[in-house]
Chain A
Amino acid sequence: MSREADHLILDPVTQRNLELTRSLNEGGRQGSLIDVLDRTTTSMGARRLKSWLLRPLVNLEAIGKRLDSVEELAFDVIMRGKIQEASKDVLDLERLLSRITLGSAGPRDFIGLQSSLAKVPSLRGLTSQAKATLLRELHEALDPVEEARDDIETTLVSEPPVTLKDGGAIRENVSAELDDLRRLRTHGKNTLADIETRERDRTGIKSLKVRFNKVFGYYLEVTKSKLDAVPDDYIRKQTLVGSERYITPELKEYEEKILGAEDRIQTLEKEIFDALNERVSRHASRIRATADAVATLDVLASLADVATRSNFTKPRIHDGFDLEVKEARHPVIEATSQEPFVPNDVLLDEDHYVVILTGPNMGGKSTYLRQTALIVLLAQIGSFVPASDAKLPLVDRIFTRVGASDNLYRGRSTFMVEMDETAHILHHATRASLVLLDEIGRGTATYDGLSLAWSVAEYIATDGRLRAKTIFATHYHELTDLAAELPGVVNYHVSAREWQDDIVFLRKVLEGGSDRSYGIQVARLAGLPAPLIRRAQEILVNLEKNEFDLEGRPRVTGESTLGTGERQMSLFADAEQRVVSELRRVDPESMTPLEALQLLAELKRTLDSSS
Chain B
Amino acid sequence: MRATMATSTGRVRDKTKPSTTPAMRQYHEIKREAPDAILFFRMGDFYEMFYDDALTASRALELTLTSRQKDPSGSAIPMCGIPYHAADTYVGRLIRRGFKVAICDQVEDAKGAKGIVKRKIVRVVTPSTYLHQGYLEAKEPSYLMAVTPGKEAAGAALADLSTGDFVAFDFQGVDRWQKIAETLSTYRPRELLYPEGNPLPEEIFASLGLDGPRPVTTQRENWRFESEGSRSLLLRQFGTRSLEGFGLEDKPLAVGAAGAALQYLEETQRGDLAHISSIRCLERPTTSSSIPSPREISS
A12–B285 CB distance below 8 A: no
The one of A6, A38, A54 that contacts B186, using a Cβ cutoff of 8 Å: A54
B283–A101 CB distance below 8 A: no
A10–B186 CB distance below 8 A: yes
Q: Hey, what's the 0/1 contact readout for B264-287 against A, CB within 8 Å counting as 1?
A: 000001011111011111111101
CB B90 to nearest CB in A, in angstroms, measures: 17
Q: Hey, what's the 0/1 contact readout for A36-47 against B, CB within 8 Å counting as 1?
A: 001000011011
The one of A50, A104, A282 that contacts B139, using a Cβ cutoff of 8 Å: A50
Check: A361 CB closer than 8 A to any chain B CB: no
The one of A98, A282, A423, A427 that contacts B162, using a Cβ cutoff of 8 Å: A98
Q: Hey, what's the 0/1 contact readout for B135-172 against A, CB within 8 Å counting as 1?
A: 01011110000000000000000000111110000000
Check: B83 CB closer than 8 A to any chain A CB: no
- What residues on B are CB-neighbors of A104 within 8 Å? 131
In the complex, identify which listed stretch (A81-89, A339-347, A405-413, A512-520) lies at the interface while the others stay far away.
A405-413
Q: Nearest 7 A-B pairs (CB), nearest first? A: A12-B207, A12-B185, A94-B163, A43-B138, A46-B139, A284-B274, A285-B277
Q: Can you list 14 contacts pairing A with B, beta carbon distance less than 8 Å?
A: A4-B280, A10-B186, A12-B185, A12-B208, A15-B186, A38-B139, A54-B186, A58-B285, A94-B164, A101-B272, A282-B274, A284-B277, A427-B291, A430-B288
- What residues on A are CB-neighbors of B185 within 8 Å? 11-12, 15
A102–B141 CB distance below 8 A: no
A409–B284 CB distance below 8 A: no
B136–A2 CB distance below 8 A: no
Q: A3-B280, A46-B138, A98-B162 are in contact. List 16 more A-B contacts (CB 8 A).
A: A1-B278, A2-B245, A2-B279, A11-B182, A22-B211, A44-B163, A50-B141, A99-B131, A100-B275, A281-B272, A284-B164, A291-B163, A405-B209, A427-B291, A428-B288, A465-B289
- What residues on A are CB-neighbors of B275 within 8 Å? 94, 97-98, 100-102, 284, 287-288
- What residues on B are CB-neighbors of A465 within 8 Å? 288-290
- What residues on A are CB-neighbors of B274 within 8 Å? 101, 281-282, 284-285
Check: A217 CB closer than 8 A to any chain B CB: no
- B interface, CB within 8 angstroms of A: 131, 136, 138-141, 161-165, 181-182, 184-186, 206-211, 245-247, 269, 271-275, 277-285, 287-294
Chain A: which residue is nearest B161 at the CB level? A98
Given contacts A102-B273, A423-B294, contact A3 B247 (CB under 8 A): yes
A409–B206 CB distance below 8 A: yes
How extensive is the interface on chain A, given as a class?
35 or more
Q: Hey, what's the 0/1 contact readout for A45-68 against B, CB within 8 Å counting as 1?
A: 011001100110010000000000
B162–A95 CB distance below 8 A: yes
- What residues on B are CB-neighbors of A430 within 8 Å? 288-289
A99 to B208 alpha-carbon distance, docked (Å):
30
CB B219 to nearest CB in A, in angstroms, measures: 24
**Interface residue ranges of A94-132 to B (CB < 8 Å):** 94-95, 97-104
Check: A316 CB closer than 8 A to any chain B CB: no
Main secondary structure of the interface of A (DSSP, over half): helix
Check: A396 CB closer than 8 A to any chain B CB: yes
In the complex, which of the residues B141, B247, B279, B285 has the most CB atoms of chain A within 10 Å of its own CB atom? B285
- What residues on B are CB-neighbors of A428 within 8 Å? 287-289
A282 to B291 alpha-carbon distance, docked (Å):
52
A596 to B164 alpha-carbon distance, docked (Å):
84
- What residues on B are CB-neighbors of A3 within 8 Å? 246-247, 280-281, 283
Check: A264 CB closer than 8 A to any chain B CB: no
A474 to B271 alpha-carbon distance, docked (Å):
58
Check: A525 CB closer than 8 A to any chain B CB: no
- What residues on B are CB-neighbors of A6 within 8 Å? 283-285
A95–B280 CB distance below 8 A: no
A534 to B188 alpha-carbon distance, docked (Å):
50
Check: A553 CB closer than 8 A to any chain B CB: no
Chain A: which residue is nearest B290 at the CB level? A465
A44 to B160 alpha-carbon distance, docked (Å):
13
A408–B131 CB distance below 8 A: no
Check: A268 CB closer than 8 A to any chain B CB: no
CB A226 to nearest CB in B, in angstroms, measures: 36
B269–A102 CB distance below 8 A: yes
A230 to B275 alpha-carbon distance, docked (Å):
63
- What residues on B are CB-neighbors of A98 within 8 Å? 131, 161-164, 275
Chain B: which residue is nearest A98 at the CB level? B275
Chain B: which residue is nearest A429 at the CB level? B289
B271–A47 CB distance below 8 A: no
Check: A7 CB closer than 8 A to any chain B CB: yes
B271–A102 CB distance below 8 A: yes
A6 to B207 alpha-carbon distance, docked (Å):
21
- What residues on B are CB-neighbors of A103 within 8 Å? 271-272
A44 to B181 alpha-carbon distance, docked (Å):
26
- What residues on A are CB-neighbors of B289 within 8 Å? 427-428, 430, 465
Check: A240 CB closer than 8 A to any chain B CB: no
Check: A16 CB closer than 8 A to any chain B CB: yes
